[in-house]
Structure 1
Amino acid sequence: MSGGATALSVAMAVLAASPAWATDAGSRITNIATARYGSAGAIQAVDSNSVALIVAERLDVTLARAATAPLPQGAGTPVAVLLANGGNGHEAFAIQVSGVAGGAATVAIDRDGDGRYDPAVDTALTGGHTPEIAPGATLALVIVADTGAVAPGGVVTIGAVALTGSGTPGTVIADRGDGGGDAVVGVTGAAATLAIPVAAAAPPTLVKSQSVLAPDGSSRPVRGAIVTYVLDAGFAVAADDARIDDPVPAGTRYVAGSLRLDGVALADAGDGSAVHVALGPVPRPVTRRIQFQVQIQ
């Protein structure tokens, strides 16, 4: 088509650059061009054939943790993380936790966002898989792990992998995308990991206090006064075969029957020259209180 009396114009659709999730995976994009021309004093039009495509699903994911402090050692340590679906399709992810005692952990959707696991509120994942997450959406998760066996300076690793597939960016997974299109592994490899350090456990603490009751009711440390000793033994993490020993001070005499553990009387043992209390295994962070009396001679 040419000549002064002939005019030609072609209309074409142009897609502007946008984030990966701006056009949903599975969307069908069609395009028809139109040619208009003058002929015999009239404007004529002719359409091209229609071409169509299905937008591929891009697979991307990120994990983030708001807290920066190392995890404490101990059973039932909660770890709050945010999982973001960086792709343009509805995608579910497998959550993997490694480096914890027993190799197992509870992973749940943190419904109230408080960073703690409450079975009455939060939803534990079935098989470690999240539900499908909308394009660009974020899911709050809480992981409850036993970090007690992790050596100081070790790490707990949390991973997320797209169920549709993962691997080298650009890898095509045919016909596995939303709407029947292809899925394409994005720049993250459709996988993300967080390596979170574990802090050294605080050593046990033993704090001793004393009070004096003299025969006249005063607090003067005179002969015949009763001295009450209180020992608070604090354990930040579980311990095995804990034991407390305290020699009876010179110049005093142990008061028979005065030994207590957490307010419960214990039988006297030994010759009265020392107090020995076997706590045994301490299964969780706790403070145990020991109390006994001596009399000033």
Structure 2
Amino acid sequence: MDENLAFLAILVVILFGFAFFANLSTSSGPLATPPNPDAEFGVVREQKSIFDVFEPPPPPPPTDDTTQTEDKTIESEKKEERYKQYFSISSANARSRNPDTEYIDIQYNPPENESVYISNWKIANKRGGSFRLGEVTNFPGTGTTPNSSPLIIPQGGIIHVITGRSPRGENFRLNKCAEYFQEHNEYIPSLSVSCPPPAQEPGQDGLNDECFDYVQGLWSCRLAEPPPVGFGDRCAEYVRETASYVGCVDNHRQDKDFFINEWWVYLNRPEQMWSDVRETITLSDERGIVIASESYD
């Protein structure tokens, strides 16, 4: 008898629990009687799954660094589109089989005076060989100034890229005194400048007549022979310090027209860079974007 009562009690508990949970999970129909006086009739509440708790959080808003990076990329793309209009390549003497005379020209002709840093830009041939343009010296042949400066090309600039080795062992920017270099070395292409003549240099008021007359006859951009001993030590010193490349630079480095917008950049290769039959020459910026190209066959 006791066992039957216990069994009956358990059965009642189970049935009660069944009814309770069944009522809790009833379908979405409206409630006939609100569970409290403030409940709303006929309102269906959204059933939420336990998995809703584990939905991934929304992505974080962009940080300042991300925004700045995106802005820089957009600005770079705008500049590249402009550069594609203003940079050009000339094959010049690219068909030469001699690396010391093989060269191409890079020209930059924007409508406004805007300079561009291009030390990290590269030139490449169709076979995949590429070379960085690198740094230059603005004062070649002088030991008083640094030999390495960024390659920054202004409006109207031209860069001669020579495949072979530099006679001076460096890349350089042309200046109004550089023709002195051609007295002892050949440059391809030639250095198209004319130095100020010694006869026009300052400091001649203290020279005697013989020395003054001697200086008036000196060639421009040529190292002068020492004057006759009878002209005096002052004359010899003046000629030595004036009629030379270093003397020319010292006297004219502050001139507004001292620098010429031409550069000689050397790849220092012992063999050809460009095919003498057919070739595609490309100029790419530091992001690898092709800015200019030139083909020939």
Give the shorter-chain TM-score range. Answer: under 0.3
Higher relative contact order (CA 8 A, sep 6+): 2
TM-score (norm 2): 0.25
